[in-house]
Amino acid sequence: MPNVQQVLGEEIRRLAKKEARAAIEDLKEQIATLKKTVSEQGKLLKELSKLTNKTASLVLPPEEPKDEIAPEDMKAVRVSPDRIIKWRKKIGVSQTQFAKLLGVSHLSVNHWESGKTEPREAQKQRIVELRDMGKRELKALILERLGEKIAKRRAKLASKAKANKAEAAEETTEK
């Protein structure tokens, strides 16, 4: 009886190998066609990229270098709570308005000024940019970011100050 078992095992192995070979042959053919397709598409992609480079140089003007500063080129900025308060008051804005100019929350500015936290490098750079701006640029930025609301408030405060000066001048002339 062991011969029958051995013969059946060999026959099953032979048939399994035959079926596996047939399946593998089909897969090999599919792989070969896929490789050809990938190769053709790669060649087509190279041709298209060459064409786009040629047309882009004809249509688009050359890009100008950006004004961004590389992180290695940035010099260390020393920002203390007193300096932040001084710069903010020099600009003449509230903590909330200063925060809007920098793109942070008003609590961040409050914490910086109280010394609880320190601004991150990106925020320090923005503070330095504001500090280095001229009065006209700063005024334009304030109007742009904070809107007409502040401009109206400033105008109102200026007119009140003029009115107070006028009243004071009248009182001194009456005496």
Answer whether residue 96 is part of any domain: yes
Give the best-scoring range by mean pLDDT among 118-122, 134-138, 165-169: 118-122
Burial status of residue 150 (CB atoms within 10 A of its CB: 0-12, 13-18, 19 or more): middle
Tell me if 125 is assigned to some domain: yes
Rg (CA), the chain: 38
Distances (CA, A) of 165 to 18, 169, 175: 108, 6, 16
The count of other CB atoms within 10 Å of the CB of residue 78 is 7
Count: domains in the chain: 2
Q: Is residue 165 one of the residues assigned to a domain?
A: no
Count of H-run helices and E-run strands, the chain? 7, 0
User: Is 7 part of a structural domain of the chain?
Assistant: yes
Backbone angles phi, psi at 108, to 5 degrees: -60, -45
- Which pLDDT value is given to residue 61? 53
In a domain, 69, yes or no: no
Q: What is the CATH number of the domain that holds 95?
A: 1.10.260.40
Asked if residue 68 belongs to a domain, the reply is no
The CA angle 155-110-75, to the nearest 5 degrees, is: 95
In which band, very low, low, confident or very high, does the pLDDT at 32 lie, cut at 50, 70 and 90?
A: very high
In a domain, 76, yes or no: no
User: Is 160 inside any structural domain?
Assistant: no
Asked if the model's pLDDT at residue 44 lies above 60, the reply is yes
Res 73 pLDDT > 60: no
- Which tens digit of pLDDT belongs to each residue from 88-135? 888 888 888 888 888 899 899 999 999 999 998 888 888 888 888 887
**Which residues constitute the domain of residue 110?**
81-146
Report how far residue 152's alpha carbon sits from residue 150's, in angstroms, rounded to the nearest whole number: 5
